[in-house]
Amino acid sequence: MSMTLTKLGGVCNFVRGPFGGALKKDCFVQSGFAVYEQQHAIYRQFSTIRYYIDKEKFEELKRFELRAGDLIMSCSGTMGKVAKVPKGIEKGIINQALLKLTPSENINLDFLTYWMESKSFQDQLSGNTHGAAIKNIASVKILKDLEIPLPPLPEQQKIAAILDAADKLKQKDQQLIEKYNTLSQSLFLDMFGDPKLNPKKWKLSYLHEVIEDGPQNGLYKPSKDYGSGAPIIRIDSFHNSIVETKSLKRVNINETELSNFEIFENDFVINRVNSPSHLGKCGLVPKINERMVYESNMMRVKFNTKKTNIVFMLSILSSQYLKNQILNSSKDAVNQSSINQKDVNNFTIPLPPINLQNQFAERIQAIESQKQQAQASLQKSEDLFNSLLQRAFKGELTA
């Protein structure tokens, strides 16, 4: 099936959010008209609203009003995330970090959404950005000139329906994994109770009482030394509190640096310098196949296995209970917060008997085994969806 290439500006109306000066902090009120942000595009949710403006400000910025059937796209930082605006949202406007697209009657909303999620669009987008530390979309004019493959409307609807079916399969697998995660959290609460309330009256221990080695700050290397050498663990190496070791960045180091900052299986790394939302984020180091180090924004900690089980410690270190202690201890600088080794040593945790921790770990292992099967299924459904998505915009899906 052949597709006509059409400029995106020919099938959509574009509105970039107001300049930052139009929405200053003193504009915000307790309730009124919602201000939609990047998080609504990134997480595809429209229910959590942090900021509101009054009616006068809304009328002033009415051209930025968001309506059901629009698309929003994140325009800086985490760029190019797209979300459809559902019915029933709170009346409101977009902020400066969002782009609003209103499709014409010549293009199916779902078809457009899938195309904007496709590699084809994302590649075009990444080729038209500027900014070093944070990428920003260059201009609305450039976006309007991007070309979208556009079959007749009935064909768009057919393609969207096929992709919908594949997407629902992927969502079903994701929901199953979320259920296993919820089950793990419920098991922790059932066996040990909420750490903040400590209803089972476990002994409170300082972390330094159960730490065998550390905490130790990581290795600092300038950016010019990155590229080849030993793998290095960074904040972007964490996934679900486990360090992903397969695709770590590499850094040129000497043998002394490797020996001084080497990290081992079952060590923990704790993020000691970052924004408040990422400060204290921890990761467990799994089995590793080569020697590796960790960067200066990290601390390495090894716990005493006679007193603690690593699975139990992973749960407690990832809890809101410990996060609150981290935030209370943090030192604020410009755009960053930090904790030090003394802070970590003085954090407290409720410490159940080791045999109970071991029982918890065994049950978690059974849950994780089932979750791994679900993750394998999710990988297959994601591969299927991505394959269909790629074929859809080459004209191969309904040929």
Q: DSSP labels for 46-109?
A: -S---EEE-HHHHHHTGGGB--TT-EEEE-BSS-S-EEEPPTTPPSEEE-TTEEEEEE-TTS-H
| Alpha helices, H only, 201-271 | 255-260
Q: Are 264 and 170 in contact (CB under 8 A)?
A: no
SS3 217: strand
Q: What is the pLDDT of residue 138?
A: 52
Q: What is the pLDDT of residue 132?
A: 42
Residue pointed to by tokens 């990428």: 135
Q: What is the pLDDT of residue 337?
A: 78
What is the rounded CA–CA span in Å between residue 84 and residue 109?
A: 8
Q: What is the pLDDT of residue 333?
A: 58
What is the rounded CA–CA span in Å between residue 41 and residue 263?
A: 37
Q: What is the pLDDT of residue 134?
A: 40
Q: What is the pLDDT of residue 133?
A: 40
The residues facing 239 across adjacent strands are: 242
Q: In the chain, count H helices and then E strands.
A: 11, 27
Q: What is the DSSP letter of 251?
A: E
What is the rounded CA–CA span in Å between residue 192 and residue 358?
A: 12
Closest by CA to 187, choosing from 386, 378, 368, is 368
Q: What is the DSSP letter of 318?
A: T
What is the rounded CA–CA span in Å between residue 28 and residue 14?
A: 25
Query: What are the contacts of 127-135 at 24+ separation with CB within 8 A?
Result: 129/79, 131/76, 134/76, 134/77, 135/76, 135/77, 135/79
The residues facing 230 across adjacent strands are: 251
Q: What is the pLDDT of residue 361?
A: 94
Tokens of 13: 């109306």
Mean pLDDT per segment of 10 residues, for the chain of length 399 residues? 80 87 84 92 90 93 93 81 92 91 92 88 68 52 84 91 94 93 93 91 93 90 87 79 81 90 89 76 85 89 93 89 82 71 89 95 93 93 91 80
In this structure, the number of other CB atoms found within 10 A of the CB of residue 286 comes to 11
What is the rounded CA–CA span in Å between residue 297 and residue 233?
A: 10
What is the rounded CA–CA span in Å between residue 86 and residue 95?
A: 18
Q: What is the pLDDT of residue 1?
A: 55
Q: Are 326 and 299 in contact (CB under 8 A)?
A: no
